[in-house]
Structures are given as C-alpha cells and as structure tokens.
C-alpha cells in the first residue's frame, strides 16, 4: 500500500514502484489539490470587499511611513559605510 504522505515527501515507501509510476502518482496528488485550491480562492473572493476610504488611507499611510523608515535606515547604513571605508560614493 502506498501512503499519500510518502508521495508528498518525495520518497516512495513501496520499493516495487519505478520512477515513472512514482512520478505519475506524485502528479496525481498535485492534481487532487487543484480543486481544493480553486474552491478556496472562490470562497476568498466571495468574502473580500473593497475597503472604505478610511481603511484605505490608513493602509496607504502605513505603507508610506514604512517605506520612509526603511529608506532612512538604508541611507544611514550607506553613510556609515562610506565614513568607515573612507571613500566617496
């Protein structure tokens, strides 16, 4: 008997399987996951909604300030690097 978990892990437990049979069974398990994936996507698309202006503006501000902070940290690292190395950009 072949266990699905052994197929997903990448090693057949049953030594009587050749590589062609094993590859077919492995692709079969991936094909079995597709309907589950698509039903999950459909459920997600039914539940999501367009954000109101307040929520969108909050998300935009968070993204903006996050980008500014990361850019500032990168700039400071660049300044420290130039000072420590003693050469220009």
pLDDT of residue 3: 47
C-beta separation of 35 from 25 below 8 A:
no
Same-domain check for residues 43 and 15: yes
DSSP 15: T
Contact 51, 59 (CB under 8 A): yes
Long-range contacts of 49-54 (CB under 8 A, 24+ apart): none
Same structural domain, 42 and 12: yes
Do 44 and 28 lie in a common domain?
Answer: yes
Say what the pLDDT of residue 1 is: 42
pLDDT at site 38: 87
Give me the domain span that covers residue 77: 50-89
Q: For residues 19 and 40, state if they share a domain.
A: yes
29 and 2 inside one domain: yes
| Same domain, residue pair 26 and 12 | yes
The pLDDT tens digits for 3-57 are 454 445 555 555 566 776 666 666 666 666 778 888 888 999 999 999 999 999 9
Residues 28 and 14 both lie in one domain? yes
- Look up residue 57 and give its two tokens: 């503006």
């Amino acid at each position: 008997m072949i266990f699905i978990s052994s197929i997903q892990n990448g090693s057949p437990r049953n030594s009587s399987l050749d590589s062609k049979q094993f590859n077919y069974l492995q692709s079969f398990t991936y094909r079995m996951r597709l309907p589950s994936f698509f039903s999950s996507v459909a459920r997600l698309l039914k539940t999501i909604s367009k954000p109101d202006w307040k929520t969108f503006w909050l998300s935009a501000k968070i993204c903006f300030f996050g980008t500014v902070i990361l850019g500032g940290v990168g700039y400071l690292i660049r300044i420290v690097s130039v000072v420590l190395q003693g050469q220009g950009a």
